[in-house]
Structure 1
Amino acid sequence: MNGLQYKKFSDVDENDVFFDSLKEDYSEFTTWFAKKSAAAEEAYVFYNSRRRMDGFLYLKVEDTADTAIVPPLPEGKALKVGTLKINAHGTKLGERFVKKIFDHAMNSGADYIYVTVFEKHEGLITLLERYGFEKRATKVTPNGSEHVLVRNLNVVTGNVVKDFPHFETTDKKYYLLAIYPEYHSAFLPDSILNGESHDILEDVSHTNSIHKIYISGINRTKCLVPGDIVAIYRTNDGKGKAYYRSVVSSLGVVEEVRQIKSFQSESQFIKYAKPYSIFTIEQLKEYFTNKQKSYIIKFTYNAALKKRIIRKRLIEECLISTRSRWDFTQLTETQLKWIADEGEINESLIVHQA
């Protein structure tokens, strides 16, 4: 089976060529791997369409500081990224792994995340720094000197990307944003609905990415500004009444909104939109030529609701008005918080600045 899996070390082939570079970097890797296998520990493993390993992620919660790190890391509970390796091939797989790191950190109540990495791994360092990791210390072992990158989870900067996956609700606006069923789960993989096939979660950019591009023909969406929160509403799939089949599945934060006419060329538009949208190059070319969908909304995919909320409850309990279409409709802060609470997202994701 291909795709992202959470597997026991004992079920992973330690002799796979994927691990050769890790063995070169860390002389104790084979012994370490054997210990993790014996302890029945688990890690994320990604297999490509040829069933070859393309990614490996091991995470560990720590309450005791690593004395080899200088200067010492902050006090508190830490999530250590014990092992992270990705074969980069342009599909944003790194972002998918970063999202899993944050998922684990939030679920474990960690105060911060840290990772040690050799300076030669420039791509990985750049990826982590994009999401708020900072070089804070050094770790020296017989294998050499490594940077220690730390992401504090108790600080909000106001930068949508560096603050991911947190939501800052103060002085923001909130909206319900509709998406058709045929696009929904491949676009937002952690929000896949019960009964849907996981086979749709291919190793492609729009599935893996933390960032999403939504192309809208709704003129009202031009009012969105960075930091606004969108609740993604999957419309009726035609298998029953919308009252029971349409659901809110996810929450995201707007990075920016652009009009399609702001792109100077078709190639510039495709370069911007293709990695993060569900549409093919042919569809994007058609949008650019005809300009029938004018607004390009880029947002971060912050949380999948653990419990999807059906339209019936949104009307009767959340009190969202049906006087206008739900393609794009504004919510109150109370309604947004109700969706977050009833959807059972991690409450620490929501930050209230005084």
Structure 2
Amino acid sequence: MARKRILITGAAGFLGSHLCDRFVQEDFHVIAMDNLITGDLRNIEHLFKLENFEFYHHDVSNYVHIPGQLDYILHFASPASPIDYLKIPIQTLKVGSLGTHNLLGLAKAKNARMLIASTSEVYGDPNCNPQPEEYWGNVNPVGPRGVYDEAKRFQEAITMAYHTFHGVETRIVRIFNTYGPRMRLNDGRVLPAFIGQAIRGEDLTVFGDGSQTRSFCYVDDLIEGIFRLLFSDYSYPVNIGNPDEITILEFGEEIIKLTGTTQKLVLRPLPTDDPRQRRPDITKARKLLNWEPKVSRAEGLKITYEYFKSLPTDVIEKIEHKDFTTYNK
């Protein structure tokens, strides 16, 4: 029996590379695609020797052609961290709009099922906690985060339109803060920022008074949730994340304890439109997918810290504050 063929965009990124691993292990033929604007080939180079893996260096904002049968598409091509989408706002908007349109057209032509990676950022700075899928959000479309938030909101809208109008099989995952090996230390998000600062012997930067909350999901748990959603029968958005909520101040203290650093937490002004709360309501995931996170934050952080410590010295470089502290996602 021939292997099922799956296209994974953003394949050299943090989540995309873990998805490549999972579907190779599940004996799919994986077609990986990335323009490497934020991805890194080192994340997937261990797969190059496999006969059921191939890589295309391509920007999905341009026309996408895949010869032969295609059964599934996972669209994970997008800058996902503040440092990236603030530097490349137009590309962020294009991959969420033009890129999604191109891939939905491909899914329609190939009769393939397509799952898109949306985000908890569609909820903006929420007025309810936790955030259920029915919450429509509190988003500033013209603020600095708008290029990412609105790209993802449009992505959901056009995906649902292709599902209802063209009958394309689609799935939508709303991803909450996720962490683990292959994150970039300098991508501006709070977890790698804290660990990077601790490793470099710098004080840990907290924005605002640190009372804002985040909920961190280990990458293996997230990948399992995405896998189950892809093969489910549910077409509307599903939150995948860990509902174990923690304040940024408390999280900073956890990182100090984990790393053994003697540095302290320092407060800086809260950025524009920074979400005060971020916690998923995963009722749907539990009911529809029989999914919930299994890896504790303590266990996941230990694995992630060991990964960051293993990086070459030149990677654990000092990042200028002006580059990454605009947002603390």
Which interval holds the TM-score relative to the shorter structure?
Answer: under 0.3
Under a length normalisation based on structure 1, what TM-score does the superposition of the two structures give? 0.26
Under a length normalisation based on structure 2, what TM-score does the superposition of the two structures give? 0.27
- Bigger Rg, which one: 1
The higher relative CO (CA closer than 8 Å, separation ≥ 6) is in 2
